[in-house]
A and B are shown apart, each in its own frame.
Chain A
């Protein structure tokens, strides 16, 4: 069991069936990304507001502590949101030319939930981290 997925599963208590379905799908996407390997906690930083007043556009920045040399770099970063109708947010792909394993974008969040990030290195290692973000007004329309 992935640590990230385990953390996500713990937050399910007291949530609706829809939310638990999203969290399960998030865990499935992570398992597919890692090929079933366990991701180690750490090396991943996630910048998000603690409270997002408008779920329609929430600034997100992810970075991974990595040398980004030709033989040791972060090749992929998966971002999932375990409380959205579809948990997938984005997958970032890096080459050593990127210089830094860091990307920022703006995302939509339907409700208060965890953002889970999993990074894959060129050596086949996986690192993960997650962050809870509270959403005042959801951003998936209705």
Chain B
């Protein structure tokens, strides 16, 4: 998966502020329920785990089932007390991990 994740979060925040984070990874999220034109089941291939940490500490994570729509979208919050780096990761059924980072300045 060479697809680039999309992130939306503020670049700056006040100490103690709860910010909103939106993420999206382009991915088919093949459910394993569909059949191809010959009637054979199409094997499951989904992002099964998403995680977000801030300065090495876990903030939010999700275990995902095939019921998550294609291009998995996650919206959640983080309370920031210091400047630092958010790290995001998406784990594919095939073991591939897509990562992204974003920094925030907290004053």
**A interface, CB within 8 angstroms of B:** 56-58, 61, 68, 81, 84-86, 88-100, 102-109, 139-142
Contact = CB atoms under 8 A, between A and B. Distances in A.
Interface of B: 18-19, 31, 33-35, 54, 57-70, 72-79
B34 A99 contact: no
B60 A93 contact: yes
Contacts of A102: 76-77
Contacts of B73: 104-106
Given A56-B70, A105-B62, 8 more contacts: A57-B69, A81-B67, A89-B65, A92-B61, A95-B57, A97-B58, A109-B67, A142-B35
Contacts, number: 104
B59 A98 contact: yes
A89 B67 contact: yes
Given A85-B33, A98-B77, A93 B61 contact: yes
